[in-house]
Amino acid sequence: MNNVSTTLSGWRAPARTNFHGILVSVVVAIAAISLAEHYRVSAMLFALLLGMALNFLSTEGRCVPGIRFSASTLLRIGVALLGVRITLGQIAALGAMPIAMVVVSVALTIGFGILLARMLGYRTRFGVLTGGAVGICGASAAMAIAAVIPSSPEDNVKERATIFTVIGVSTLSTAAMVLYPMIVTALGFGHEQAGVFLGGTIHDVAQVVGAGYSMSKETGDVATIVKLLRVAMLLPVILVITLSYRKHHVAGPAGTKKPPLLPWFVVAFALLVAVNSAGLIPPVVQHTLQTLSTWLLVISMAAIGMKSHLKDFATVGFKPIVLMVSETAFLAMLATVFIYLAR
């Protein structure tokens, strides 16, 4: 009995410590999702901006631990739950061309991002972050990749890069949702080709769905499946990034351990894909977990916003914008080439 009491006390302590910060992050997330539904703009973008307005809560007071918890642990749980969106059957049903297009375009977009980032004077990890966000699944990918990239000596550097990437990729995704349907119509693409293009190029899932179904049901269905295939690319990309930084990890003076071979949330993501592919998750549970994933990602984005300082973005300059717009244009060009070659 004493052991049980001790265990419960051990759970209550961190729960009490984190409660206020989690609560304020949830409140910001509720406001962000409500605004996103009304204005049809990315909920993560609203969460980020609203969170930044409440930056003072992360500097001192009872909310600090919970904000940190929301920005890290809740983020990883939300990324892991993305696995319930995907099945291996959906991937196989696409056929060879869309699969090849997604794999090649994700790899080349990240490579292009690294190359261009170095040319513009940035570190490789900024190219990995922006290229991965553009190539895979927008803000969700940016947050997942940021979770496995080691922090710089100045801890706020990675957070500032992540926030800028989320803002950029969300803005570009919204613009693409409006412009890309007009582009595929002008190019004379059929329903399936248009779906492959939209799903293979627009950054965020919500904007892919909006653009695809605004054209036709057939286009929307294909676009959604192609987009989910890009989401599935999170697993191999994060594995490669983790192995790369693990290989070059140098132990600190206190004998810092190497990062794990695979972060726990990536393992959970892969297991959920496997379980979902086997049909072991009931539809109601699947829908609930998908909704929970969305909420957790928005909550964590609100917390990341609260940890950020607006003054840090005064020195961003024009070059990062050039980087992300160029990556977006490069991805669209690759998808167009693949579609024309498959005709």
Would you place residue 250 in the very low, low, confident or very high pLDDT band (cuts 50, 70, 90)? very low
Both tokens assigned to 121: 């004077």
Both tokens assigned to 38: 């009304």
Q: 189-203, 211-225, 288-302: which has the minimum mean pLDDT?
A: 211-225
Instruction: With residue 289 as reference, give the H or E element that holds it.
Output: helix 283-306
Which residue carries 């024309």 as its tokens? 340
Query: Do 299 and 31 touch, CB atoms closer than 8 A?
Result: no
User: Is the pLDDT assigned to residue 205 strictly greater than 80?
Assistant: no
- Percentages helix, strand, coil for the chain, rounded to the nearest 5? 80, 0, 20
Query: Do 109 and 297 touch, CB atoms closer than 8 A?
Result: no
Mean pLDDT is highest, among 27-31, 143-147, 190-194, 258-262, for: 27-31
Query: Which of 53, 84, 81, 72 has its CA nearest to residue 295?
Result: 81
User: Is the pLDDT assigned to residue 316 strictly greater than 60?
Assistant: no
Q: 48-52, 202-206, 253-257: which has the minimum mean pLDDT?
A: 253-257
Mean pLDDT is highest, among 32-46, 176-190, 226-240, 324-338, for: 324-338
Both tokens assigned to 250: 């140098």
Taking phi first (over 0 means left), then psi (-120 to 50 degrees means alpha), and beta for anything else, what does residue 183 get?
A: alpha
Instruction: With residue 33 as reference, give the H or E element that holds it.
Output: helix 2-39
Please report, for residues 6, 26, 238, 332, the alpha-carbon distance to residue 98 in angstroms, rounded to integers and kept in the order given. 54, 37, 21, 14
Query: Do 203 and 327 touch, CB atoms closer than 8 A?
Result: no
pLDDT at 229: 84
Instruction: Give 97-116 pLDDT, tens digit per residue.
Output: 888 899 999 999 999 999 99
User: Is the pLDDT assigned to residue 133 strictly greater than 60?
Assistant: yes
User: Is the pLDDT assigned to residue 86 strictly greater than 80?
Assistant: no
Domain positions in the chain:
15-85+283-308, 88-247+311-343
User: Which own/partner pairs from 147-152 qualify as long-range (CB within 8 Å, at least 24 positions apart)?
Assistant: 147/72, 147/75, 147/76, 147/79, 147/263, 147/265, 148/238, 148/241, 148/242, 148/245, 148/259, 148/263, 148/266, 149/125, 149/241, 149/245, 150/245, 150/249, 150/259
What is the percent of the chain where pLDDT is above 90?
34
Q: CB burial class (10 A; 0-12, 13-18, 19+) of residue 174?
A: buried
Average pLDDT, the chain: 82
The torsion angles phi and psi of 195, rounded to 5 degrees, stand at -65, -40
